[in-house]
Structure 1
Amino acid sequence: MDPSAKVTLRHIGAQLQCESGHRSLLDALEANHIDVEFQCRSGYCGACRMRLLRGRVAYTQSPLACIRPGDILPCCCLPAGDIELEL
């Protein structure tokens, strides 16, 4: 994980930092008051699924929900560098 990755939110037109204190990308989004639907925080349900447009993420645990290529589960991953999300 990048200790201070820049996260660009394309549709909202915002940028934020995912810092080393965040346990997941979902935590970073919430810390910046970005509403993301979620239910489990563990990669089981897939409710937080979103499209990764640029960059890579690293999963802190393997997601059990089915995800398509290009989709991520922010509840159980962290950016591996700067990323752009379709959000």
Structure 2
Amino acid sequence: MKFRNTQNDLTVTAICGTTCCLLSFDMDVNKTKGLLGFAIEREDKTEREKYFLKGFKYFEETGSRTDNGQLFTSFEQPIQSFLWEDFTVKEKHIN
């Protein structure tokens, strides 16, 4: 399935399968001044959970790695890319 939404000069496109989702962010380069990244919050209505997605990248000034597999929430350490692959999608969950 493919979804696209534009709000406040940001367009997000999601291409989703049964176990993964590709998110693409598009924004006018003139609007990105001061942009550090994106926080992505997931709401799972099936399991009644709400949480920010996690990633491996972090800003050295505000995060510290204790081991190589450590994950950081995108709220604390924004996703620093205009393309994001989420392999934690749960099959047959209500969107």
TM-score, normalization: structure 1? 0.31
Higher fraction of helix: 1
TM-score w.r.t. the length of structure 2 is 0.29
Bigger strand fraction? 2
